[in-house]
Amino acid sequence: MDELLKKILNAAGVSGYESQIARIMHSEFKRACGNAESDAFGNVIARAGKGKKRIMLAAHMDEVGFLIKHINKDGFLNFIKIGGIDDRVLIGQRLLVKAKSGDIMGIIGVKPPHLLKEEEKKAVVKYSEMFIDIGAGSLEAAQKMVAVADVAIFEPNAGVLEGRLCYGKAVDDRVGCYCLIKIMERLKKVNAEVFAVATAQEEVGLKGARTSSFKIAPDFAIAIDTTSAGDYPGIKETESSLKLGKGASITVIEAGGRGLIVNEKTKELFVRVAEKHKIKYQMDVLEGGMTDGAIINMNREGIPTGVLSVPARYVHSPTAVFSMDDVEAVISLAVKSVEELAR
């Protein structure tokens, strides 16, 4: 796995607490484009190319995670979730609490099945019944290690699963951030002013995309994100027909129309460019979930917006799986589409 991709996947950046990943994106944008700035909201922005048209590329740098809400008398931590995390994936997971004193390892615990009554065994355990064990043993010991309002992330992990399949924490949407850097490296001489934005707080309301797109006021925008693959047990093809390694995902509609509905010209542009340059692609019809594209599209008087995504398995969990072939397809399709728009 590319060391840059690994660094981006492993970085901390829960929504609203993106400082670590923001520093990395600022440094990489400056290297790739020769410039970078951070705005008042926490977005990181870079520019490349010169021309009359203004084109915005956005990928969110925040990840789902946790915030410490309470420390009990025995030193165990209660927490809330930041972003959409399925309670079923939490039990026994290792976390890093990002404390002032440094990273503190924690394990999500819950009452064991051996002590459950029969009716309790049938119920889905809610996160509010779970806790984080940091091995403190007392309130006083825990308070020396962590504090209320500290954030926690899933334990960092990244690597190669098999062949071109890779895995990692925060794949949604650090893979998009990686794509953004690689896209800007290839667009230095494009005949348009291209803005790359690593957006903040996407997972909790698409917030950074709203503020940054208002500031930039682009003529066209592309959101780079991940989407749910359907090529593993438990998912019907009618729910998702996307497969790893089969190309970039071109979004047609999000959340059954409550999110972005991509206009026909934008959809046709992506398909035409993909076929012209022999870039593999898949069509994505989403009944649930939205991207930064949904809020960019509605900003100002309306901004034509498309979404290109990397299909991934197990998003919003401790570890997701994706294909580098799809990553390269998204990068190539975005670059060629921007060049087409610039002409």
Could you tell me the pTM of the whole model? Answer: 0.95
Contact 236, 311 (CB under 8 A): no
pLDDT at residue 114, as a whole number? 72
pLDDT at residue 116, as a whole number? 67
The catalytic position among 202, 203, 254, 328 is: 202
DSSP state of 174: H
The set of residues, in sequence order, having a beta carbon less than 8 Å from that of 20 and lying 6+ positions away, is 11, 12, 13
Below-50 pLDDT ranges, the chain: none
User: Nearest-5° angle of CA 67, CA 69, CA 73?
Assistant: 130
pLDDT at residue 224, as a whole number? 98
Q: Residue 201 region, left (φ>0) first, then alpha (ψ -120 to 50), else beta?
A: left
The set of residues, in sequence order, having a beta carbon less than 8 Å from that of 247 and lying 6+ positions away, is 274, 279, 280, 281, 282, 325, 326, 329
pLDDT at residue 188, as a whole number? 79
Domains annotated for the chain, with CATH where assigned, are 3-63+169-342 (3.40.630.10), 65-154 (2.40.30.40)
What are 22-45's pLDDT values in tens digits? 999 999 999 999 999 999 999 999
What are 234-267's pLDDT values in tens digits? 999 989 999 999 999 999 999 999 999 999 999 9
Whether the upstream peptide bond of residue 325 has omega within 30° of 0, thus cis, is no
Residue 202 a catalytic site member: yes
